[in-house]
Amino acid sequence: MSLEITVHELQAKRNAGEGFVLLDVREAEEVALVQLPHSVHIPMGDIPSRLPELDPEAETVVYCHHGVRSLRVVHFLRQHDFARVVNLAGGIDAWANEIDPRMARY
């Protein structure tokens, strides 16, 4: 499985009704500004202690603001036997720029 998924690929998955976990690893202040619907919020720094809340068998798309922090989380999760986890390339900023221009940007 690839390390990343584009915003267009994510939109296609959503439109097709595919089941997956959308994991937002940004800080609470960022989530308060804007978030993708149906996301699970666990800040990056809390991932190790909250690992039991995540299903290693579930397909998981991780995102942050630009995709840097979330890529680090993807690497961490893969080291902990999460084989079906990918990073949202460009993060929520790319989503706002390419998919939903009405979305707030910061």
Q: What CATH number is associated with residue 82?
A: 3.40.250.10
pLDDT tens digits for range 19-64: 999 999 999 999 999 999 999 999 999 999 999 999 999 999 999 9
Question: How many structural domains is the chain composed of?
Answer: 1
- pLDDT-based confidence at 1, cuts 50/70/90? confident
Q: Report d(CA 19, CA 21) in Å as an integer.
A: 7
Beta-carbon contacts of residue 75 (< 8 Å; ≥ 6 apart): none
The answer to the question of residue 74 being in a domain is: yes
According to the model, what pLDDT value does residue 21 have? 98
pLDDT tens digits for range 53-103: 999 999 999 999 999 999 999 999 999 999 999 999 999 999 999 999 999
According to the model, what pLDDT value does residue 26 have? 98
According to the model, what pLDDT value does residue 55 have? 97
- Asked if pLDDT for residue 16 goes beyond 90, the answer is yes
The answer to the question of residue 69 being in a domain is: yes
Q: Is the Cα dihedral 89, 65, 78, 37 positive or negative?
A: negative
Q: What is the pTM of this model?
A: 0.96
The answer to the question of residue 60 being in a domain is: yes
